[in-house]
Amino acid sequence: MSRRWCVLPRRGVVADPRGGWEAIPMGTTLFESVERRAIAAEPAAIDVALLGLGTVGTEVAARSRADEATNQLIRVVGALVRNRDRPRDARVAGTPLTSDGLSLLDRSPDVVVEVLGGLEPARTLVRTALERGIAVVTANKSLMAVHGDELLRIASETGAPLLYEAAVLAGVPFLGAFARRPRAAALSSMTGIVNGTSNFILTAAQKGGGDCATALAEAQRLGFAEPDPGADVKGIDAAEKLAVLARHFGFGSIHPAAIETRGIDALDHLDFFLAADLGGTVKPLVHAERSGDSIGAFVGPAFVPWPHKLSRIDGVENAVVLRNTTGELLFSGPGAGPAATATTILDDVVEAAEGTAHKRDEAVRSVRPQAPATSWMLRVGAAGLPPADEMADLLGSHGVWLRRTSLLHTRDGRQTIGALTYSCSRERVERAAGVLHAAAGAEVRVMRAIEVDGRR
């Protein structure tokens, strides 16, 4: 590496980075060869190959310009697209387009930005880039959830940075904060809301009378939900994000398909009504916890009491509560959106190009998560229900103890009551629900519940 000099013209001295000072006459001009990116007069250029030019890719390309805060010029040298003739946003006019991803890698960019989504060709192109020692920044949660182990191993072997801050909570960049802080990152559990679409739907439904279909239509009208919202409302998107978080924080390598996952599409107004009567709300949660050598995890709607931090996360907002030895840490903010995602991606690009990204060398073991024991919210309905104390005794005889119950509600000749239980396994609560159904002819629906102090 060449030497760098710092000229202080008013004092007439020069600082040598190895230490010491040398006096020079006033007005002397010094020239010393420096590294290309050490020149402060011109923004240092970072050449980026952009894989994908959809909504997020377009925003990345449009925002790629000189950054006064970092003195960096991010230059898109080419973008991979399926159709080169498709009309594009005027902000990305002039961006070189190609349908051959490997040809982009042959240009030896400083950083590859992958925003294709899905597994292929994203996996093949990212793998090839890492094998060539090219830094990669991705916002692809599916890719990192399913193939993260393989890609991180290759990145470790070649020394190429692989950053994925925008893959989980793009508008709440917090993963990097723990990269060099292993003690803070040693979590006992994490609980969060990581899908803005489902959170918007539940928030709107609870405020608008409990109609999830109407809330979904509104989310689609506002652009918060895809035309096909299946991945969001069925919990698939959230499960992939939880798998990425679990690996990042050392819980283990978890395939998203192995996580207990429930969607929000079966909820109706009675669920929200009973939750409010029991002192809380319903939120679309992800949760992972350590229990000895095993890991417990679930994704799905859950009762959240009003005093809990997550009860106040509404609309498209996302949040995650991390628990470590010092207590709870809450990170919250917008879950996604092109602008937030592009900003986080570009921050990762600069970090990768400057070589300041933390490299994770430790291997993460593969684990199959268990369905953890938690509290439960029960919804019990029938034409005529037994007294609440009789139902409590029956459930208790099968190991399910009630914490509290709601008022009895009668509508259209049908009685419904809600209840919160103490912590028990899913197997136990479903078995007890079956016994109650057989004994009283009651329809019993169960939903997970969390408590304020971190208990489940």
pLDDT band at 155 (very low <50, low <70, confident <90, very high): very high
Q: Return all residues near 18 (Cβ < 8 A) that are at least 6 apart.
A: 3
Q: In the predicted model, is pLDDT for residue 40 greater than 70?
A: no
Q: In the predicted model, is pLDDT for residue 262 greater than 60?
A: yes
Structure confidence at residue 161 (pLDDT): 95
DSSP-derived secondary structure letter, 122: H
Helix (H, G, I), strand (E, B) or coil at 303: strand
Structure confidence at residue 256 (pLDDT): 97
Question: In the beta sheet, which residues pair with residue 260?
Answer: 298
What is the average pLDDT across 354-371?
78
Average pLDDT, the chain: 87
Structure confidence at residue 8 (pLDDT): 41
Structure confidence at residue 264 (pLDDT): 96
Reported as a single tens digit per residue, the pLDDT across 52-62 is: 999 999 999 99
Q: In the predicted model, is pLDDT for residue 147 greater than 80?
A: yes
Structure confidence at residue 94 (pLDDT): 87
Q: Which residue has the higher pLDDT, 224 or 164?
A: 164
Structure confidence at residue 413 (pLDDT): 84
Distance, in Å, from the CA atom of 364 to the CA atom of 330, rounded to the nearest integer, reads: 25
Is 241 in the active site? yes
Structure confidence at residue 283 (pLDDT): 98
What is the average pLDDT across 344-363?
80
Q: In the predicted model, is pLDDT for residue 145 greater than 70?
A: yes
Closest-CA residue to 195 (of 308, 314, 316): 316
pLDDT band at 455 (very low <50, low <70, confident <90, very high): low
What is the average pLDDT across 105-128?
96
Bridge-based pairing of strands 443-449 and 294-305 is parallel
Overall residue count recorded for the chain in this entry: 456
The residue behind tokens 């539940």 is 202
Closest-CA residue to 2 (of 28, 34, 24, 42): 34
Structure confidence at residue 64 (pLDDT): 85
Reported as a single tens digit per residue, the pLDDT across 198-227 is: 999 999 999 987 789 999 999 999 888 888
Spot the catalytic one: 141, 207, 234, 241: 241
Domains along the chain with CATH numbers: 6-34 (no CATH), 44-167 (3.40.50.720), 178-334 (3.30.360.10), 375-449 (3.30.70.260)
For the chain, give the percent of residues with pLDDT over 90.
66
- Residue 191: alpha-carbon gap to chain centroid: 11
Structure confidence at residue 20 (pLDDT): 47
For helices 426-440 and 388-396, angle between their N-to-C axes, nearest 10 degrees: 130
User: The tokens of 48 are what?
Assistant: 């980026």
DSSP string, 166-177: GGS-TTS--GGG
Closest-CA residue to 359 (of 159, 104, 119): 159
Q: In the predicted model, is pLDDT for residue 17 greater than 80?
A: no
Q: In the predicted model, is pLDDT for residue 38 greater than 70?
A: no
Q: Which residue has the higher pLDDT, 424 or 90?
A: 424
Q: Which residue has the higher pLDDT, 333 or 5?
A: 333
User: Cis ω on the peptide bond leading into residue 43 (within 30° of 0)?
Assistant: no
For the chain, give the percent of residues with pLDDT over 70.
86
Structure confidence at residue 408 (pLDDT): 87
Q: In the predicted model, is pLDDT for residue 106 greater than 50?
A: yes
Closest-CA residue to 166 (of 391, 334, 366, 289): 334
